[in-house]
Amino acid sequence: MPLHFIKQDITKLECDAIVNATNNTLLGGGGVDGAIHAAAGGKLLEECKRLGGCDTGDAKITKGYNLPCKYVIHTVGPIWRGGFVGERALLESCYKKSLALAKEKGCETVAFPLISSGVYRYPKDKALSVAVETISGFLLDNEMTVYIVVFDKASYQISEELFDDVADYIDENYEDESSDSHLFYRNFSIRSEERRLDFIERLGENGEEHIQCELSLIDMLADIDDNFAVTLLKLIDLRGITDVECYKKANVSKQTWYKIMNEKDYKPSKNTVISFAIALELSLKETKHLLSTVGFALSKSSKFDIIIEYFLLNEEYNIFTINETLFKFDQPCLGV
């Protein structure tokens, strides 16, 4: 999976490289830095001493020693001073330089802690956005699996507004038995009044009827003999995007993409179908149709499904934002 969130102690992770959030001396400290040095053993400090320190926003690489990873990439995040002294650019640079080093060493799997979000006091929701945006930007042009490792789940924060909105939506809809169209209107939880009015205007007077009659993309494309791969390719063509753009947007690895395309009887998981629905920016109705072509449905007794429904209704198709939210609500992330 190209970008994934996991809750774990980074020192226990078996991957090619883990990233250390350290300081300019590279000589160890508290937080994740202390944990990494303690687990790697004294030889890590010996190698670090020979590196001559590291500038803020830069990164250096060492071996992993007693750690289960091959390499440790040491990067120095900015200390948060209110956001007025270039902290964001420096934090972005930490991720970019670390990823460039990982690439140079041929790493296929890399794990990051949330750099600067501890002792250096970078607000956690902002630190998370910088991490996700920078890593996903890198992944558009590179094949690598990257983990964002969250040590203490309570300290993992998505924006408060999004969290509250999704929590309300789950409360209102969990195990709700009302009909789809009813649900559609009652819970169309777009905060902006402007967008809501615009939506109603587009539907016209008989909005509900309109929705029921509206032909979905899948209706137009569905051919009983098409397998998932063929339907997917038709949708990609219709959207005018490339295959690579599509699987990257779906947070799906190249290997999985090849499997879908080359294994004739490949049956995608529900998670995979939804990942592609998001990448193709399908509506809720279209997503339901796509799911039904492979025998799946969205359920009101599944938190995961309700969160997906929330994002589809709000036309929020950034898979990484969706995954941050799923993770926060203890649900599996999208992508394979």
Q: How crowded is the C-beta side of 17, counted as CA atoms within 13 Å?
A: 28
Integer Cα distance of 156 and 330 in angstroms: 12
Question: Could you say whether residue 118 binds ligand AR6 (CB under 6 A)?
Answer: yes
Cα torsion angle, 52, 55, 129, 33, sign:
positive
Contact 35, 10 (CB under 8 A): yes
Taking each helix axis from N to C terminus, what angle separates 319-328 and 303-313, rounded to the nearest 10 degrees?
150
Q: Which stretch binds ligand AR6 (CB under 6 A): 110-118, 219-227, 249-257, 261-269?
A: 110-118
Q: Which residue has the tokens 């944990």?
A: 35
Neighbours of 277 (CB within 10 A): 25
Nearer to ligand AR6, 151 or 329 (CB): 151
Query: Could you say which of 15, 21, 69, 218 contacts ligand AR6 (CB under 6 A)?
Result: 21
> With CB under 6 A, what is the number of residues at the site for ligand AR6?
25
Query: Could you say which of 3, 10, 218, 221 contacts ligand AR6 (CB under 6 A)?
Result: 10
Closest approach, Cβ 21 to ligand AR6, in A, equals 3
Question: Could you say whether residue 117 binds ligand AR6 (CB under 6 A)?
Answer: yes
Q: Which stretch binds ligand AR6 (CB under 6 A): 27-35, 99-107, 193-201, 208-216?
A: 27-35
Contact 314, 168 (CB under 8 A): no
Question: Could you say whether residue 116 binds ligand AR6 (CB under 6 A)?
Answer: yes
Contact 133, 96 (CB under 8 A): no
Best CA proximity match to 318, nearest among 289, 278, 286? 278
Q: Which stretch binds ligand AR6 (CB under 6 A): 31-39, 131-139, 237-245, 285-293?
A: 31-39
Return the DSSP state at 268.
-
Write the interaction track for ligand AR6 spanning residues 74-93; mark x where CB under 6 A is met and - where it is not.
---x----------------
Q: Which stretch binds ligand AR6 (CB under 6 A): 84-92, 148-156, 229-237, 291-299?
A: 148-156
Contacts with ligand AR6, residue ranges (CB under 6 A): 9-11, 21-23, 29-33, 35, 77, 113-120, 149, 151-152, 155
